[in-house]
C-alpha cells in the first residue's frame, strides 16, 4: 500500500547515503505509524485520494483556497480502536526565561487538535505528483516541550498534560564557563534531545525561544539532527535571529556579526519537510535578507513564491490579514474570517497546527485557527485572549464534524 502511494520512495529518497543507516529505524517507525493510521483499508485511501484530487483540481485555478473543504476532508473520524501514540507525538522546542506562554500555546494546541501524520496521499494532478502529509485534526497523543530550566516549572504549572524537559541553557546560566565546558554542555543537551528524536512525528521549533545566542546555537544543532532524521519541522519566530547574525564573544555577550545564522537558512533550505510561519515582522526581515528588497503587497503571491524559491524547497505560511501559503510551485490564500483581536499567542497556536510540511496542511491549520478565533470573538468580543481561542479549537462549528 505504501509503495503504491509512494511513501516508501518518499522517505527513502530523503535519506542520503551518509545518514541512511542512522535514520532507517526512525523512517521505519514512521512508516509503520502511517500504515496503522491509514487504518489498513485501501477503500478509505482511495476515497480520500479522490477527495484530495477533487480539492486540488478545484482550488488550483483560484488564489483563495477552498479551506473549509480541505479542513473537513483531512479531519478524520475518531476511531475507538486506536491506542495512545497512534495519533502522533509532537515536540515543541521553545520557552526561555522571558517567554513561557508561547511554547505552552503551541504544545497544547498540538495536543488538542493536531494528531500526527494520519495519511499520505500521492495525488497526480496535471503533470506532477504531489504528496500530502496530512496530520489528523483529532489531537496528538503526546506533546513534549524542550525548554530552558527556568521556563520548565512555569510551563508544567500551566498544564499537567504536557511532558516538559528542562534541558536548554541560556548564556547567563553558563557565564564564566570555558569554551570547552560550554561545548560539553551543548553536547549533553543535544544527546538528551537525540534520545527522544526518533519518537517524534513533528518538531515545532521556535515559540518563545527568544534571542539568546548560546540557546540558538544549540537549537541550530537540534534542527540539523531533526533534519537528518527526516522529522517534519515547523519553524516559527526565529527569523529575527536568522537575520540579525549574532556572534558570541568569549564572555557569552551577543553582538551583531556574521556568524550563527548566515548558515541558518541553509539549515532549512532544500528540506521539503520544513514549514516556516513568519508574522509580518519576520516576513519583512526574511524578504530583506533573501530577496534584498522590501515587502511588496501589490504582488504578494509572486513575491512569496520568489522567497520560497530563494530559500529553496520549503513551505512558507505567511501570516496576516489573509494567510498566504506557498511551496514554490503554487500559492494559496486563506482569508476566511478570523478575529479582529490581535492579542499575542495566536501565531503560537498556529505553529502547533500545521505540523505537516505541505500547502494543504498549512491551509487546514490556518483555517482551523482563524475559525476558532472567530468563534472565540463571538463570545468574548474585545476581551478575547489566546486561551479563549484554544478553548474553541475542537468545537463542532470549527470542524463541522461531531466525531
Ligand X SMILES: NC(=O)C1=CN([C@@H]2O[C@H](COP(=O)(O)OP(=O)(O)OC[C@H]3O[C@@H](n4cnc5c(N)ncnc54)[C@H](O)[C@@H]3O)[C@@H](O)[C@H]2O)[C@@H](O)CC1
Closest approach of ligand ATP to the CB of residue 41, in Å: 33
Closest approach of ligand ATP to the CB of residue 320, in Å: 5
Give Cα separations from 297 to 267, 287, 306, 324 (angstroms): 28, 12, 14, 11
Q: Residue ranges of the alpha helices (H) in 75-212?
A: 101-113, 151-158, 179-197
> Of 76, 88, 101, 354, which one interacts with ligand X (CB under 6 A)?
101
Is 269 exposed, middle or buried, given 0-12, 13-18 or 19+ CB atoms closer than 10 A? Answer: middle
101 binds ligand ATP per the rule CB under 6 A: no
Report whether 396 contacts 402 (CB < 8 A). Answer: yes
232 binds ligand X per the rule CB under 6 A: no
* Region 146-205 residues binding ligand ATP, contact defined as CB under 6 A: none
Closest approach of ligand ATP to the CB of residue 90, in Å: 17
Q: Which x/- pattern over 52-91 shows residues binding ligand X (rule: CB under 6 A)?
A: ----------------------------------------
Report whether 272 contacts 312 (CB < 8 A). Answer: no
CA angle 352, 357, 362 (to 5 degrees): 60
Pick one of Mg ion, ligand ATP, ligand X, none as the site partner of residue 319 (Cβ within 5 to 8 A by kind). ligand ATP
Pick one of ligand X, ligand ATP, Mg ion, none as the site partner of residue 321 (Cβ within 5 to 8 A by kind). ligand ATP
208 binds ligand ATP per the rule CB under 6 A: no
Closest approach of ligand X to the CB of residue 148, in Å: 12
Nearer to ligand ATP (CB atom), residue 237 or residue 252:
237
Pick one of ligand X, Mg ion, ligand ATP, none as the site partner of residue 323 (Cβ within 5 to 8 A by kind). ligand ATP
Closest approach of ligand X to the CB of residue 243, in Å: 6
Q: Residue ranges of the alpha helices (H) in 213-330?
A: 213-228, 239-244, 264-268, 280-291, 300-311
CA-to-CA distance for 393 and 140, rounded, in angstroms?
A: 13
* Region 262-281 residues binding ligand X, contact defined as CB under 6 A: 279, 281
CA-to-CA distance for 93 and 91, rounded, in angstroms?
A: 6
Q: Is 292 helix (H, G, I), strand (E, B) or coil?
A: coil
Nearer to ligand ATP (CB atom), residue 165 or residue 341:
341
CA nearest 400: which of 359, 368, 353? 368
> Of 213, 272, 345, 357, which one interacts with ligand X (CB under 6 A)?
345
Q: Which x/- pattern over 236-275 shows residues binding ligand ATP (rule: CB under 6 A)?
A: -x--------------------------------------
CA-to-CA distance for 290 and 128, rounded, in angstroms?
A: 27
- Cell representation of residue 301: 503571491
Pick one of ligand ATP, ligand X, Mg ion, none as the site partner of residue 369 (Cβ within 5 to 8 A by kind). ligand ATP
* Region 231-260 residues binding Mg ion, contact defined as CB under 5 A: 237
CA nearest 297: which of 313, 308, 283? 283
Closest approach of ligand ATP to the CB of residue 357, in Å: 18
Q: Cα-atom radius of gyration of the chain, to the nearest Å?
A: 20
Report whether 96 contacts 168 (CB < 8 A). Answer: yes
Report whether 203 contacts 93 (CB < 8 A). Answer: yes
Closest approach of ligand X to the CB of residue 245, in Å: 9
For residue 261, the tally of other CB atoms under 10 A from its CB is 23
* Region 314-373 residues binding ligand ATP, contact defined as CB under 6 A: 319-321, 323, 338, 342, 344-348, 350, 366, 369-370
354 binds ligand X per the rule CB under 6 A: no
β 274-276/254-256 pair status: unpaired
Stretch that binds Mg ion, among 140-148, 154-162, 308-316, 344-352 (CB under 5 A): 344-352
* 126 phi/psi in degrees, rounded to 5: 50, -130
CA-to-CA distance for 127 and 125, rounded, in angstroms?
A: 6
- Interaxial angle between packed helices 213-228 and 179-197, expressed in degrees from 0 to 180 and rounded to the nearest 10: 40
Nearer to ligand X (CB atom), residue 33 or residue 146:
146
Closest approach of ligand ATP to the CB of residue 332, in Å: 13
Which residues of this chain interact with ligand X, rule CB under 6 A? 99-102, 207-210, 237, 240, 243-244, 279, 281-282, 344-345, 347-348
Which residues of this chain interact with ligand ATP, rule CB under 6 A? 237, 279-280, 319-321, 323, 338, 342, 344-348, 350, 366, 369-370
Amino acid at each position: 500500500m505504501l509503495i503504491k502511494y509512494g511513501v516508501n520512495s518518499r522517505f527513502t529518497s530523503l535519506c542520503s547515503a551518509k545518514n541512511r543507516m542512522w535514520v532507517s529505524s526512525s523512517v521505519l517507525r514512521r512508516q509503520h505509524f502511517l500504515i496503522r493510521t491509514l487504518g489498513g483499508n485501501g477503500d478509505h485511501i482511495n476515497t480520500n485520494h479522490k477527495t484530495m484530487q477533487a480539492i486540488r483540481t478545484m482550488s488550483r485555478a483560484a488564489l483563495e483556497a477552498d479551506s473549509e473543504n480541505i479542513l473537513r476532508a483531512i479531519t478524520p473520524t475518531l476511531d475507538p480502536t486506536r491506542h495512545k501514540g497512534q495519533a502522533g507525538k509532537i515536540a515543541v522546542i521553545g520557552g526561555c526565561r522571558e517567554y513561557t506562554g508561547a511554547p505552552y500555546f503551541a504544545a497544547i494546541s498540538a495536543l488538542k487538535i493536531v494528531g500526527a501524520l494520519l495519511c499520505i496521499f500521492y495525488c497526480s494532478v496535471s503533470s506532477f505528483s504531489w504528496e500530502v502529509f496530512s496530520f489528523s485534526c483529532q489531537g496528538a497523543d503526546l506533546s513534549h516541550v524542550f525548554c530552558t530550566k527556568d521556563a520548565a516549572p512555569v510551563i508544567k504549572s500551566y498544564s499537567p498534560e504536557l511532558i516538559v524537559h528542562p534541558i536548554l541553557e541560556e548564556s547567563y546560566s553558563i557565564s564564566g564557563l570555558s569554551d570547552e565546558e560550554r561545548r560539553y554542555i551543548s553536547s549533553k543537551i543535544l544527546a538528551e534531545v537525540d534520545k527522544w528524536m526518533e519518537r517524534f512525528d513533528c518538531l515545532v521549533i521556535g515559540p518563545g525561544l527568544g534571542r539568546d545566542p548560546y540557546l540558538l546555537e544549540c537549537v541550530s544543532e537540534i534542527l540539523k539532527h531533526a533534519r537528518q532524521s527526516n522529522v517534519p519541522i515547523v519553524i516559527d519566530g526565529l527569523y529575527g535571529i536568522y537575520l540579525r547574525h549574532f556572534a558570541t564573544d568569549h564572555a557569552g555577550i551577543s553582538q551583531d556579526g556574521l556568524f550563527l545564522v548566515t548558515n541558518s537558512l541553509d539549515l532549512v533550505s532544500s528540506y521539503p519537510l520544513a514549514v516556516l510561519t513568519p508574522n509580518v515582522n519576520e516576513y519583512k526581515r526574511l524578504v530583506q535578507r533573501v530577496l534584498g528588497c522590501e515587502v511588496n503587497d501589490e504582488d504578494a503571491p509572486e513575491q512569496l513564491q520568489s522567497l520560497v524559491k530563494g530559500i529553496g524547497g520549503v513551505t512558507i505560511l505567511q501570516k496576516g490579514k489573509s494567510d498566504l501559503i506557498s511551496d514554490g510551485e503554487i500559492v494559496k490564500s486563506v482569508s476566511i474570517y478570523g478575529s479582529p483581536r490581535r492579542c499575542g499567542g495566536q501565531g503560537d497556536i498556529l505553529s502547533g497546527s500545521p505540523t505537516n510540511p505541505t500547502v494543504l496542511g498549512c491551509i487546514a491549520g490556518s483555517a482551523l485557527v482563524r475559525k476558532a478565533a472567530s468563534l472565540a470573538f463571538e463570545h468574548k468580543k474585545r476581551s478575547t485572549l489566546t486561551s479563549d481561542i484554544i478553548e474553541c479549537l475542537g468545537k463542532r462549528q470549527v470542524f463541522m464534524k461531531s466525531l
